[in-house]
Amino acid sequence: MSITFQVIARCGAARAGEIKTERGIVKTPAFMPVGTQATVKAMTPEELKEMGVDIILSNTYHLYLRPGTEIIAQAGGLHNFMHWDGPILTDSGGFQVFSLSPLRRIDEEGVTFRSHHDGSSHFFSPEKAVEVQNILGSDIIMPLDHVVPYPCSYEETREAMERTIRWAERSKKAHHYIKKQALFAIIQGGIYEDLREICAQELVKMDFPGYSIGGLSVGEPKEQMYHLLDVTVPHLPEERPRYLMGVGSADALIEGVRRGVDLFDCVLPTRIARNGRVMVSQGYLTLRNAEFARDFRPIDPQCSCYVCRNYSRAYIRHLLKANEILGVRLTTYHNLYFLKRFMEKIRMTIIENTFPQFYNEFWVQFSYLPQDGE
């Protein structure tokens, strides 16, 4: 087996577990920082390790276009290229093709798309997406999926979902000869309960080492996403990790875990950091605001990260207003550390069987809800 997964504790539907990979153990539930272009924006690998990050995510679509698969192959794979020796999960490019590429044509064979850099034309089949990820050498890989926008008609969603199942089967066939990488399946089906259920059931029959839930957090209300998790997760096997794609706000993370999800990723913490927004127990602070000009407290007085131990809101605000790179470094570091600690606390309360109390306390404190986004 490419990876092994063990649930070590349960509290309601929530689980604490361990994914063992050749490159290290991922303690779940876990949030995966996103390194779209072979770097978690503004961070070094050492800083991620210092925070305790077990696994990061990177993007097949982006790396295929730039610097190109061949250069990463010559570098000895993605880990060598980017100097990160821990586990990496790569997305297949399905979501990116549908969200970033200006022109695309999809048929049963695959998807033809244009590069968002230079307009050049490219073709991804399920086999090609697996092949590229084989070369990247990531530890967990995703099959090419057909993502529909929100909103989308039932019929169109159904067709895309069925194609996603056929493509998962082709991906599995293309992949089986590589032993070290775990190929997950991606469940689609839009906002339609029965489509989500069918997709989950069909993919589970094929027995993948893990199941991703894709096509959510794309604009639908959060309550609808939670409901679709309620509908989907019960069809997934207990002994396999579950990964909710594109979710990274504290509120959606805790709701996902509560419904039995083990893995998450999102650009949210790093993206809002670049806009000067930071995560605190009560929600978010926008550090560029004038109210922080003379606020000499740390970002979050309850946080013990490098940033909160050494810098004031006033100083970080000054850096952000002056467009200094250090400002973005500090907000990014804090947000990733904040989510790492948040997931650790969730995990501990699951193990100690006090997750419901933690969940209730979270919602007493937490107020502001921005929109997630993959």
Kindly tell me which residue out of 9, 75, 178, 351 binds a copy of itself, with binding defined by CB under 8 A: 75
CB-wise, 179 or 309, nearer to a copy of itself? 309
C-alpha torsion sign, points 324, 55, 299, 219: positive
Kindly tell me which residue out of 26, 32, 34, 42 binds a copy of itself, with binding defined by CB under 8 A: 42
CB-wise, 58 or 171, nearer to a copy of itself? 58
Could you tell me the smallest distance in angstroms from the CB atom of residue 270 to a copy of itself? 10
Could you tell me the smallest distance in angstroms from the CB atom of residue 56 to a copy of itself? 13
Binding residues for a copy of itself, how many (CB under 8 A)?
A: 33
- Find the catalytic residue in 54, 139, 251, 265: 265
Q: Based on the shown chain and the rule CB under 8 A, indicate whether residue 299 belongs to the binding site for a copy of itself.
A: no
Clarify whether 300 is annotated catalytic: no
Q: Based on the shown chain and the rule CB under 8 A, indicate whether residue 310 belongs to the binding site for a copy of itself.
A: yes
Q: Based on the shown chain and the rule CB under 8 A, indicate whether residue 44 belongs to the binding site for a copy of itself.
A: yes
CB-wise, 319 or 339, nearer to a copy of itself? 319
Measure Cα distances from 357 to 10, 123, 201, 321, 346 in Å: 15, 50, 33, 40, 11
Kindly tell me which residue out of 82, 216, 225, 272 binds a copy of itself, with binding defined by CB under 8 A: 82
Look at phi and psi of residue 104 and say left if phi exceeds 0, alpha if psi is from -120 to 50, else beta.
beta
344's enclosing H/E stretch is helix 325-351
DSSP code at position 328 = H
Cis check: omega of the bond before 143, within 30 degrees of 0: no
Name the one range near a copy of itself by CB under 8 A: 5-13, 42-50, 234-242, 253-261.
42-50
CA distance 46 to 14: 30
211-213 and 185-187: which strand pairing?
A: parallel
Clarify whether 85 is annotated catalytic: no
Q: Based on the shown chain and the rule CB under 8 A, indicate whether residue 206 belongs to the binding site for a copy of itself.
A: no
CA distance 345 to 352: 10
CB-wise, 73 or 348, nearer to a copy of itself? 73
Could you tell me the smallest distance in angstroms from the CB atom of residue 74 to a copy of itself? 6
CB-wise, 37 or 112, nearer to a copy of itself? 37
Name the one range near a copy of itself by CB under 8 A: 69-77, 96-104, 216-224, 226-234.
69-77
Cis check: omega of the bond before 29, within 30 degrees of 0: yes
Number of other CB atoms surrounding residue 164 within 10 Å:
27
Nearest in space to 58 (alpha carbons), one of 23, 21, 91, 85 = 91
Cβ atoms 218, 188 nearer than 8 A: no
Kindly tell me which residue out of 52, 105, 239, 293 binds a copy of itself, with binding defined by CB under 8 A: 293
3-state secondary structure of 285: strand
Contacting residues for 12 by C-beta, under 8 A, at least 6 apart: 258, 355, 356
Alpha carbon of residue 173 to chain centroid: 25
Kindly tell me which residue out of 176, 180, 294, 297 binds a copy of itself, with binding defined by CB under 8 A: 294
Sites for a copy of itself among residues 314-333 (CB under 8 A)? 314-315, 317-319, 321-322, 324-326, 328-329
- Name the residues that contact a copy of itself, by CB under 8 A: 37-39, 41-44, 66-67, 71, 74-75, 81-83, 293-294, 296, 310-312, 314-315, 317-319, 321-322, 324-326, 328-329
Catalytic annotation, residues: 91, 265
